[in-house]
Amino acid sequence: MTRQLRLQIHAASFFGLLLSLSSYGQAAPLTPDQAPAVHNGVASCATSACHGKVAAVEGRNVWLNEYHIWSTQDRHSRAYQTLLTDRSKAMAQRLGLGSAHTAKACLDCHADNVAAAQRGQKFQLSDGVSCEACHGGSEKWLKSHTEPQVSHADNIANGLYPTENALDRSALCLSCHKGTGSKFADHTMMAAGHPRLTFELDTFTANQPGHYKIDADYQARKGKPAPGSLWMLGQMESGKRSLALIQQHAGTLAAENLAIYDCHSCHRPMNPARGQAQDDSRQLPAGSIRLEDSALDMIAVIFKVLWPEQSGAWHKAVAALHKAQAQQELALALTDLDNRLVSLEAKLRQQAATAADLANIRRQLIKLGEQGAYKDFTSAEQVFLALESLSYDLGDRQTLLPALDALYNSVADEYRFDHGAFVKALGKINN
């Protein structure tokens, strides 16, 4: 797709080329906001006989203080309250929404905004992103999940959402932290004051106040996560979501659709100019706006290490996406990239990455970064998140913490991003 404002693309004529971007070899479960089950509300989980204890209980397969952790430490519990702040009120006024805490566009991500018919007696919208917003409406599993003869698979069949599955968890998180066809923090929202969205599944999971432990019991019931799987599969789901959003919003360059582009194509200081990023969009003319492709940059490194014979083809496919100037070219480029993602995910299902693979991915990210591959802020930001995530998986985060802190400082302020400082911080990571 061209980055030049004068060129328009007419999506309506190519509805027949819609992408099948939601499947990776098996049917994905409906996310909790899409499934038809009744949501009984946080109060159904919060008693001291259930998940409302103050401290974890020894000898049980769950801690039973999950509600206490969520309500006191987890920002999801305060998501609805954010809509009552002066900033949110001002945003709603600018957008003509009335009030933020009653607007569907806001509630879809700041609360468990299921249909009225799906709200049980104890349900409260003001609970924010609550238990069932992530674990699914408890209509059919609330009682059965406490019975000893009922397996985790039984609970999943009854509507419990499989958050232990990296792809399914990523799809759920990204439905708000990146967007879907029905909920999307578009450019008009950001212009009104909504923060730019950024997300990386593994690091955000590690920094989230956990309410479970992957111990022997967890692994017996839900399986053992493969090292690096959250980062790799999270990036692939993020890439898939980017392609879907591009497909949906690339029809015109109307203001609300601009969020599929890299914010920093425009929102950066005019002097000094940072120059064209040396990546797959480098063929674009000076002054072009470019698609936000940070997940595709990270996937490129996964290809480079785990499937090197396909690495060059991936770069060519991303370049084709950036330079497509007609709707048919765009559809073909998106389909090509989606097929390559499906193939890579299938390969990972057959053979999980090893610790040596993860260490090599980390080395490649550092090497490419030092060579100038990540001059764009969003990609540099994802490099930091990737290195932090991989350090957790490789078990050397504490050793690397001073260097990781320095790298974080280099990407802490997107409007003061200094690529030279970023490269210098990369060089301090002893890999």
pLDDT, tens digit, for every residue of 382-412? 999 999 999 999 999 999 999 999 999 999 9
Q: What are the CB-based long-range contacts (under 8 Å, 24+) for 153-162?
A: 156/29, 159/35, 159/37, 160/135, 160/136, 161/29, 161/31, 161/32, 161/35, 161/134, 161/135, 161/136, 162/29
| 56 pLDDT above the threshold of 60 | yes
Q: Which residue has the tokens 């200094």?
A: 418
**Worst-scoring range by mean pLDDT, 18-22, 28-32, 111-115, 288-292?**
18-22
Quick one: pLDDT band at residue 231, thresholds 50, 70, 90?
A: very high
- Residues 405-424 have a mean pLDDT of 95
**251-270 confidence digits (pLDDT tens):** 666 778 899 999 988 887 76
Q: At what angle do helices 355-370 and 419-426 cross, to 10 degrees?
A: 140
Name the least confident of 142-146, 161-165, 286-290, 357-361.
Answer: 286-290
Please check the confidence at residue 378 and state whether its pLDDT lies above 90: yes
pLDDT digits 0-9 by tens, 238-247: 999 999 999 9
For residue 243, count CB atoms less than 10 angstroms from its CB and return exposed for 0-12, middle for 13-18, buried for 19 or more: buried
For residues 258 and 246, give the distance between their C-alpha atoms in angstroms, rounded to a whole number.
Answer: 10
Q: By percentage, how much of the chain surpasses pLDDT 90?
A: 74
pLDDT of 269 reads 73
| 16 pLDDT above the threshold of 50 | no
Task: Work out the pLDDT band at 209, boundaries 50, 70, 90.
Answer: very high
Query: Can you list the pairs that 46-49 forms with residues at least 24 positions away whose Cβ atoms lie under 8 Å?
Result: 46/71
Q: Residue type for 208, please?
A: Q
Over range 174-178, report the average pLDDT: 96
Query: What's the pLDDT at 9?
Result: 29
Token match 């260097």: residue? Answer: 403
pLDDT at 15: 28
pLDDT (average), residues 221-234:
89
More confident residue, 107 or 23: 107
Which value, to the nearest 10 degrees, does the dihedral of the CA atoms of residues 248, 294, 227, 372 take?
Answer: 160
Q: How confident is the model at residue 334 (pLDDT cuts 50, 70, 90)?
A: very high
pLDDT at 276: 59
Helical axes 294-306 vs 311-323, angle rounded to 10°: 160
Q: Is the pLDDT of residue 291 over 60?
A: yes
Average pLDDT over residues 13-35: 57
Q: Quick one: average pLDDT of 187-193?
A: 95
Min mean pLDDT across 149-158, 323-332, 335-344 is at 323-332
Among 143-157, 219-233, 295-309, 313-327, the range with the most confident prediction by mean pLDDT is: 295-309
How far out from the chain centre does Cα 106 lie? 18
At residue 348, the pLDDT reads 87
**Mean per-residue pLDDT, 365-377:** 94
Percent of the chain past pLDDT 70, that is, above it, reads 91
Q: Can you read off the two tokens belonging to residue 350?
A: 């057959």
Average pLDDT value for the chain: 89
Q: What is the pLDDT of residue 325?
A: 75
Residue 102 clears pLDDT 80, i.e. is over it: yes
Token pair, residue 154, equals: 């039984």
